[in-house]
């Protein structure tokens, strides 16, 4: 059977700052299963370097290394990691336990990377064996040095290794604790585990069965220890080993347990650096807040505009009087004349084109309406009876006025819901008499509710017959507007052209003069508004992109700091079997946890701002589930994109960093 360890001509050369340093100069070494070897030598003689090569943490510069006959130089990094986690345990001088992590979790860590079940039970079992059954929940800073080293030994044992490397395991301990630790190591060897221990103290090496001395990178003596010192081996030490060499990395799927462990440790890392994490989340938080709030308000505004537009009726073309532009900045009335629209224009327009369904004149103005001791300022619209149909304004309660009432200039009025509430509260206004600019009107109906969309309250108005409004209230001779209903959207352009040429003829405009009126079509207005909202979305997208990049850089920065701060931890995790992928995923999860925390806080804050605006300023705000989802996905994505580089950097660190990094 092949020896457990077989080194032939192993050398190690470091290249530092242009110079070369030959640390190992051709080591030949054979270690059989079950041995207890002490490696001795002066400081700097290459003991740690040799142990790291033996423990597959580092590769030799030349020479061959066979572990149970397997040439380990052919193994990939991840196969090496798998072999380490199943076969080899480490005990370091500096203990290398994870801070703020319980003894139980520290001991269970190697099993996280093998994916074996029953982690907590097995870790507790080993800790009990090593005499720490009552310290399971203690963090390293709540344990003595000797206890910390026992936790480290338990961690080395948890995966039932065949081989344990201990690099000056008692170097940081007081002598009584050193005795205890030695006792544990001897017991492990008694139970069948091969033990290689580095030390430079003779009375420590005296416990070993074989002592190898190295100097200047060469083995200078290799002897059986005839006067082996009896150790106070504690009872109850058992060891069960894996059957053969296992160097198949665990499955590539991320187990739920590993995932939740990473999420837990990510949240722990964020919590233990609260201020720092909060500051790095700020970019994402502000960006997401702005996007959510602006989207909500923009959507609300769009919705209220849509309601207003649809309440105006479809297929509507509006004709307004306007002074001609005369080239002097287009000032209104600069040429001294306003165009005028009269009732005979309305009649002519009705005959202008077969596509005209109906047309009606309108006037409007601001008035004061009084009932009893209540009064309101509102707008008065004078309209023809067909207004009810053209504008979807059939009386919701009561009735609309008739053509006769218009002809007779009857003083009858319909009130919008806002006016009703202001003057009558909950009482029924129909049949009452109100004063409009000191003219008495009988209320005959209530207009349907159109919705008070954002900018202008459509329900804050009074509608009376056109002639009554012109002659008795507003004192107008001309119309303020003519509304024209077309037979369908396909007729609109032709109708507009016919009305335009008709009006130019009626106003006797020579060819070189511009129109002295304006024709507006609701479809155009709608298109203009959609155009505006497209620009709005584009701006919003730019704001979002900039803030996510800024936020992402913040997160990347803090992750880079975190990776270099935690080099020891990363190296240790790799030493005990973490693959590159496992480390990459751990740090990615941390970055994503941070960015989604920022994103979620941003969503909450953005919604609060949007609804605050809606409540206090009366703006409409609509938070759609899509916008929340979008913000969430984007903030998580930012974490992945900007966390990737730092996480990759972490995953590529070599395991010996843990042992060298100060």
Where on the chain is the footprint of ligand ADP (CB under 6 A)? 14, 16, 21, 23, 41, 43-49, 660
Question: How many CB atoms neighbour CB 611 within 10 A?
Answer: 15
175 binds, among ligand ADP, Mg ion, none (CB under 5 to 8 A by kind): none
Closest contact distance (angstroms) between CB of 627 and ligand ADP is: 52
Site of tokens 């051709």: 26
Nearer to ligand ADP, 5 or 290 (CB): 5
Residue closer to ligand ADP (CB basis): 49 or 315: 49
Please check whether residue 589 is in contact with residue 260, taking contact to mean a CB–CB distance below 8 angstroms: no
In whole angstroms, the minimum distance from the beta carbon of 168 to ligand ADP comes to 8
Give the residue from 364, 334, 316 showing the smallest Cα distance to 525. Answer: 316
96 binds Mg ion (CB under 5 A): no
CA 18 to chain centre: 46
Closer residue to Mg ion (CB): 48 or 627 = 48
Compute the least distance from the CB of residue 46 to ligand ADP, in Å: 4
Minimum Å gap between C-beta 656 and Mg ion is 11
What spatial distance separates the first Cα and last Cα of the chain, rounded to whole Å? 42
- Alpha-carbon separation of residue 500 from 186, 319, 323, 337, 479 (angstroms): 107, 9, 15, 19, 17
Tell me if 52 contacts Mg ion by CB under 5 A.
no
Report the distance separating Cα 476 and Cα 411, nearest Å.
16
Find the part of the chain contacting Mg ion (CB under 5 A) among 18-26, 46-54, 186-194, 308-316.
Answer: 46-54
3-state secondary structure of 554: helix
Contact stretch for Mg ion (CB under 5 A) within 48-56, 218-226, 377-385, 525-533: 48-56
CB neighbours (10 Å) of residue 107? 31
Q: Work out what residue 14 binds among ligand ADP, Mg ion, none; the CB cut-off runs from 5 to 8 Å by kind.
A: ligand ADP
308 binds Mg ion (CB under 5 A): no
Binding-site partner at residue 251 among Mg ion, ligand ADP, none, CB < 5 to 8 Å by type: none
**Per-position x/- string for 1-40, each x denoting binding to Mg ion as judged by CB under 5 A, each - no binding:** ----------------------------------------
Q: Does residue 348 contact residue 498 with C-beta atoms inside 8 Å? A: no
Identify residues 229-248 at the interface with Mg ion (CB under 5 A): none
- Residues binding Mg ion: number (CB under 5 A): 1
CB nearer Mg ion, residue 42 or residue 531? 42
The residue range among 42-50, 326-334, 490-498, 545-553 that interacts with Mg ion, by the rule CB under 5 A, is 42-50
**Beta 36-40 vs 194-198: how paired, if at all?**
parallel
Instruction: Tell the smallest beta-carbon distance from residue 265 to ligand ADP (Å).
Output: 28
Among 48, 149, 194, 547, the residue binding Mg ion under the rule CB under 5 A is 48
Q: Contact, 187 vs 218, CB < 8 A?
A: no
C-beta of 168 vs 345, nearer to ligand ADP: 168
Rg (CA), the chain: 43
Pick the closer one to Mg ion by CB: 47 or 472: 47
CA distance 403 to 410: 10
- Crossing angle of the two packed helices 256-272 and 103-114, in degrees rounded to 10: 140
For residue 48, the minimal CB distance to Mg ion (Å) is 3
Helix (H) or strand (E) holding 50: helix 47-54
Answer with the entry of ligand ADP, Mg ion, none that 608 interacts with (C-beta below 5 to 8 A by kind): none
Nearest residue (CB) to ligand ADP, 39 versus 443: 39
Pick from 116, 75, 92: nearest CA to 240: 116
Q: What is the smallest separation between the CB atom of 198 and Mg ion, expressed in angstroms?
A: 6
Query: Which is it for the CA torsion 218, 223, 227, 231, positive or negative?
Result: positive
Shortest approach of Mg ion to residue 52 CB, angstroms? Answer: 9
Residue 14 beta carbon to ligand ADP: minimum distance, rounded to whole angstroms: 3
Measured from the CB of residue 113, what is the shortest distance to Mg ion in angstroms?
25
Q: Which is nearer to ligand ADP, 167 or 180 (CB)?
A: 167
46 binds, among ligand ADP, Mg ion, none (CB under 5 to 8 A by kind): ligand ADP
Distance of CA 276 to the CA centre of its chain: 18
Tokens of 79: 């196969």
The structure tokens listed for 470 are 């012109």
Angle, vertex CA 493, rays to CA 491 and CA 496, nearest 5: 105
Give the footprint of Mg ion on this chain (CB under 5 A): 48
């Amino acid at each position: 059977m092949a020896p457990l360890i077989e080194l032939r001509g192993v050398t190690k050369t470091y290249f530092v700052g242009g110079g070369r340093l030959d640390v190992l100069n051709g080591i030949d070494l054979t270690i059989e299963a079950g041995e207890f070897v002490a490696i001795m030598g002066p400081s700097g003689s290459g003991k740690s370097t040799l142990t790291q090569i033996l423990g597959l943490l580092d590769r030799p510069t030349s020479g061959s290394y066979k572990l149970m006959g397997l040439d380990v130089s052919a193994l990939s990094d991840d196969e090496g990691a798998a072999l380490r986690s199943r076969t080899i345990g480490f005990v370091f001088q500096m203990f290398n336990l994870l801070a703020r992590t319980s003894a139980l979790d520290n001991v269970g860590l190697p099993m996280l990377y093998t994916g074996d079940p029953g982690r907590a039970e097995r870790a507790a079992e080993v800790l009990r064996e090593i005499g720490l059954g009552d310290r399971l929940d203690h963090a390293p800073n709540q344990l003595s040095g000797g206890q910390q080293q026992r936790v480290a030994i338990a961690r080395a044992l948890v995966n039932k290794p065949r081989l344990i490397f201990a690099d000056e395991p008692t170097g940081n301990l007081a002598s009584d604790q050193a005795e205890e630790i030695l006792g544990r190591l001897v017991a492990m060897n008694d139970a069948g585990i091969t033990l290689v221990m580095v030390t430079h103290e003779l009375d420590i090496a005296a416990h070993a069965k074989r002592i190898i001395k190295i100097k200047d990178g060469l083995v200078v003596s290799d002897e059986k220890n005839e006067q082996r010192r009896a150790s106070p081996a504690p009872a109850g030490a058992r060891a069960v080993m894996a059957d053969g060499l296992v160097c198949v990395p665990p499955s590539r799927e991320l187990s739920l347990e590993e995932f939740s462990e990473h999420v837990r440790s990510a949240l722990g890392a964020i919590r233990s650096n609260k201020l720092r994490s909060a500051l790095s989340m700020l970019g994402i938080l502000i960006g997401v807040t702005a996007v959510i709030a602006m989207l909500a308000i923009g959507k609300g505004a769009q919705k209220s505009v849509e309601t207003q537009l649809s309440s105006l009726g479809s297929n509507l073309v509006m004709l307004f009087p306007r002074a001609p532009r005369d080239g002097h900045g287009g000032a209104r009335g600069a040429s001294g004349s306003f165009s005028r629209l009269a009732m005979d224009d309305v009649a002519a327009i009705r005959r202008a084109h077969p596509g005209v369904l109906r047309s009606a004149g309108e006037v409007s103005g601001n008035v004061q309406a009084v009932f009893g001791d209540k009064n309101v300022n509102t707008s008065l619209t004078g309209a023809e009876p067909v207004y009810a149909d053209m504008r979807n304004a059939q009386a919701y309660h009561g009735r609309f006025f008739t053509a006769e009432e218009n002809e007779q200039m009857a003083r009858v009025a319909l009130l919008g819901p806002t006016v009703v509430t202001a003057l009558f509260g909950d009482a029924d206004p129909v049949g009452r008499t109100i004063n409009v600019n000191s003219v008495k009107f009988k209320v005959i109906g209530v207009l349907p509710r159109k919705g008070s969309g954002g900018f202008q309250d459509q329900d804050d108005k009074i509608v009376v017959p056109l002639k009554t409004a012109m002659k008795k209230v507003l004192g107008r001779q001309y119309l303020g507007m003519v509304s024209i209903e077309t037979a369908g959207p396909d007729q609109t352009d032709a109708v507009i052209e016919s009305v335009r040429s008709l009006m130019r003829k009626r106003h006797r405009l020579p060819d070189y003069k511009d129109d002295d009126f304006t024709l507006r079509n609701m479809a155009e207005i709608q298109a203009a508004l959609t155009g505006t909202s497209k620009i709005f979305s584009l701006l919003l997208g730019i704001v979002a992109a900039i803030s996510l990049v800024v936020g992402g850089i913040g997160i990347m920065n803090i992750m880079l700091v975190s990776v270099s701060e935690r080099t020891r931890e990363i190296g240790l995790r790799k030493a005990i079997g973490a693959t590159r992928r496992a480390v990459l995923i751990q740090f990615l999860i941390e970055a994503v946890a941070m960015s989604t925390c920022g994103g979620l806080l941003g969503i909450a804050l953005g919604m609060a701002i949007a609804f605050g605006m809606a409540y206090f300023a009366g703006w409409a705000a609509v938070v759609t589930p899509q916008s929340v989802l979008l913000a969430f996905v984007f903030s998580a994505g930012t974490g992945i994109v900007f966390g990737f580089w730092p996480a990759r950097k972490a995953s590529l660190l070599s395991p010996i960093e843990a042992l060298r990094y100060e």
